[in-house]
């Protein structure tokens, strides 16, 4: 029986609401990237010290992903969404006491809590979207939902640019070192207020969305009943090399993406001699390229197997990362922006390939493993930061280049070894 217009409307509203979650954690991710530049100026930190922001954010993903999967199996996808939104909002509210105390560790804790909410949302929303239709179109459906993610990223950059970076005092580390304590404290107080106030406003929006979803009927999840052997699930997943290698590929992808976006503003400042607010435009251009190519790649999936697109994008990412290492500033910045275009299809495509053929509780636990792989952002970013402190910001982009090479090897492995019906992947 064909679906009625009312049925389509009822299914479209939950799909839209869940897709909005992709936008919200995209906003959190990219606002977090701008915090590195903000804290570097506010607290006169090294690149390695500021990279702890990403350690707190992506380390939280690693800690919360599996508990989130167990939670949504026991309750429901909707319950997972509500819990994730609550923690996300709670983390944003913790920015206020962190700002009042002018405490970097307190900010890191607030980021950790906020990212825990994002981890729960991401662990829940990705498999939920996959379950909202036929398996053969799951990757396209996930890419459509993921297209909301860069829209959130754009919003996050614009919010940071106008409400945080624009309110940073122009005094650099050397100038601040020469100020008396009261003068420096006054400047930092205004700058940290800009950070805290912005995040608290986002918290209000999150609580509003939480209320809307709470009162909305969402598609039921029928897989939470019956006997379930957790050890057997883990054993099956570990023996599935396509899934196992997919988790590894996702680890290196998230590490590469976090590296590239964490140091986009720093590279633009270094190569073009501009301040944070102006440099954030290079970040915005990168996200616009990411967004445009996400839609392009999603369209191309109608005609080209996603794994072939993944291989091609990996080659492009390697080439453009190499361009960042070149001495010409304009070529380096244009290459940097192009890296984001190449990255645009990687996360959802690796995700879809890794989950292909899984069912029920295996899918939920497998999804949490892929979200735990986001730990790559916490592990690899400090490595690039250490290279930057020692050898310069440009040279440090060799780190994501190596990550993209690993993703290329993964895509070649899938092409050679994985056979799927109708060439789904």
Residue 223 maps to a domain: no
d(CA 319, CA 317) in angstroms, rounded, equals 5
Q: What is the pLDDT of residues 387-412, one digit of tens each?
A: 999 999 999 999 999 999 999 999 99
In total, how many domains does the chain have? 1
d(CA 425, CA 409) in angstroms, rounded, equals 16
Residue 167 maps to a domain: yes
What is the chain's length? 425
Please, are residues 334 and 209 in contact by the beta-carbon 8 Å criterion?
Answer: no
d(CA 290, CA 404) in angstroms, rounded, equals 16
Residue 318 maps to a domain: yes
Domain that includes residue 115, residue range: 12-218+233-423
Q: What is the pLDDT of residues 13-59, one digit of tens each?
A: 888 899 999 999 999 988 998 898 899 899 888 889 999 999 999 99
* Whole-structure pTM value: 0.82
Which parts of the chain have pLDDT scores under 50? 1-7, 9, 222, 421-423
Supply the pLDDT for residue 406.
98
Residue 3 maps to a domain: no
**Pair of tokens at residue 139:** 């990757």
Please, are residues 163 and 202 in contact by the beta-carbon 8 Å criterion?
Answer: no
Residue 397 maps to a domain: yes
Residue 23 maps to a domain: yes
Q: Supply the CATH number for residue 134's domain.
A: 1.20.1250.20
Residue 224 maps to a domain: no
């Amino acid at each position: 029986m064909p679906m009625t217009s009312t049925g389509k409307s009822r299914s479209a509203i939950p799909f839209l609401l869940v897709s909005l979650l992709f936008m919200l954690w995209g906003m959190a991710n990219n606002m977090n990237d701008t915090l590195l530049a903000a804290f570097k100026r506010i607290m006169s930190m090294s690149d390695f010290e500021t990279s702890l922001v990403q350690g707190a954010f992506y380390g939280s993903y690693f800690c919360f992903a599996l508990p989130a999967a167990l939670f949504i199996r026991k309750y429901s996808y909707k319950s997972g969404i509500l819990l994730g939104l609550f923690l996300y909002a709670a983390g944003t509210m913790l920015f206020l006491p962190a700002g009042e105390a002018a405490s970097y560790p307190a900010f890191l804790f607030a980021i950790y809590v906020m990212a825990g909410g994002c981890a729960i949302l991401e662990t829940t929303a990705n498999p939920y979207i996959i379950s909202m239709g036929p398996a053969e179109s799951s990757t396209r459906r996930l890419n459509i939902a993921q297209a909301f993610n860069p829209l959130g990223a754009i919003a996050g950059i614009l919010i940071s640019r106008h409400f945080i970076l624009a309110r940073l005092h122009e005094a650099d580390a050397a100038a601040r070192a020469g100020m008396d304590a009261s003068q420096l404290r006054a400047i930092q107080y205004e700058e940290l207020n800009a950070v805290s106030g912005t995040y608290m406003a986002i918290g209000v929006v999150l609580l509003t969305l939480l209320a809307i979803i709470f009162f909305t009927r969402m598609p039921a999840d029928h897989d939470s009943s019956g006997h379930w052997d957790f050890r057997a699930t883990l054993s099956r997943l570990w023996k599935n090399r396509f899934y196992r290698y997919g988790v590894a590929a996702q680890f290196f992808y998230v590490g590469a993406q976090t590296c590239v976006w964490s140091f986009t503003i720093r590279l633009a400042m270094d190569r073009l001699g501009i301040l944070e607010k102006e440099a954030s435009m290079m970040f915005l251009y990168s996200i616009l390229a990411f967004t445009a190519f996400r839609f392009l790649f999603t369209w191309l999936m109608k005609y080209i197997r996603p794994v072939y697109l993944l291989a091609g994008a990996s080659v492009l990412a390697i080439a453009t990362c190499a361009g960042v290492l070149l001495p010409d500033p304009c070529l380096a910045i244009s290459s940097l922006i192009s890296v984001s275009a190449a990255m645009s299809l990687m996360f959802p495509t690796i995700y879809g390939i890794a989950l292909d053929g899984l069912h029920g509780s295996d899918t939920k636990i497998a999804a949490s493993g892929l979200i735990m792989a986001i730990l790559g952002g916490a592990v690899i970013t400090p490595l690039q930061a250490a290279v930057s402190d020692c050898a310069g910001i440009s040279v440090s982009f060799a780190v994501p280049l190596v990550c993209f090479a690993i993703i290329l090897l993964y895509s070649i492995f899938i092409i050679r070894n994985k056979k799927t019906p109708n060439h789904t992947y």
